[in-house]
Amino acid sequence: MLFNNEINAHIEAQSCRHQINGLCLHAWHWPAPNRPKVVLLHGWLDCAASFQFMAMALGGEWDVYAPDWRGCGLSAHQSHGYYDRALMLSDLSQWIDIISPNEPVHIMGHSMGGMLAAHYAGTLPERVKSLVVAEGFGIEEGNVHEAAARSARFLSAMSHPQPWLDLVDVAKVAAKFQQRNPLLSAERALYFAHVLTETNTSGCLTYRADNKHKIPQPLPYRTELAYAVWRHIRAPRLWVEGGLLPHNRYLQHVKQTLPQRYAAMGKPQKICFPESGHMLHWEVPEQLALALNVFWCNQAA
């Protein structure tokens, strides 16, 4: 990939792989020996390399790890089935045991990564030193009366998974990213387009993430189940929002119940970046890194 030094994705990162739950899973590591360990968790269809700018802005004060979820980034794809969130939670647990077998870690999760991070922090609270949930406050409340219809959609998607459409070129992908995330510079949009796509065996450009990630979960999302787990979180928490801008589709979908979700997580310290949408670590990575640095330093004080 042709990038200048400012945005070379792996200029300071080390690649590491481990066999976890039957798959070869990948993580990027920005090493800082003898510094506190931090684990960054990306969202749905994103990848760990998208934390590059934020990791560089942290300035080497933290020993930073960012795993690629199974079926994303440079991690292996499942040969069959759907991407069960409980299995991904197990992947996370094993990653943390590898990264820091004896000490708790700071965890920051974005979107789906934030949801899984919060679930992990409530399930194994002794393994989490602090928790940052960035735009990962759960999805829209599911309707139990539509459980049968949802199950039918799941079965249909399992039988006929929808492949990715071939992409024209990386520049077109970058332009789409800028349209969805207006604060992205052209250069950084091109970087994200590179790390999120690949050329397939037919010679066509396609998204790198496994298309089976588009298979819906078979059961409706229930906030009461999430709340029951969140009550067990003991670590200091930071709640990070990207503002209610028109291009923040995520918050638009959950904003009616956002106060209840905030209360259920224990009314933690809150930061809002009104100048950013959902993709905080894409649009305002330096500002986010500064906020995280202050929060983590306060836990060590």
pLDDT of residue 301: 59
pLDDT exceeds cutoff 90 at 161: no
Average pLDDT over residues 140-158: 92
Structure tokens at 119: 């679930």
pLDDT of residue 3: 39
196 burial type by CB count under 10 A (0-12 exposed, 13-18 middle, 19+ buried): buried
Structure confidence at residue 62 as a pLDDT band (50, 70, 90): very high
pLDDT of residue 165: 85
Domain boundaries, the chain: 5-150+222-300
What's the CA gap between 158 and 153, in Å, rounded?
Answer: 9
Of the options 3.30.470.20, 3.90.1640.30, 3.40.190.10, 3.40.50.1820, the CATH number for the domain spanning 5-150+222-300: 3.40.50.1820
What's the CA gap between 183 and 277, in Å, rounded?
Answer: 9
Residue-wise pLDDT tens digits, 35-44:
999 999 999 9
Phi, psi of 113 (to 5 degrees): -60, -35
For the entire predicted model, the pTM comes to: 0.94
pLDDT of residue 245: 81
Residue-wise pLDDT tens digits, 227-273:
999 999 999 999 999 997 888 989 999 999 999 999 999 999 999 99
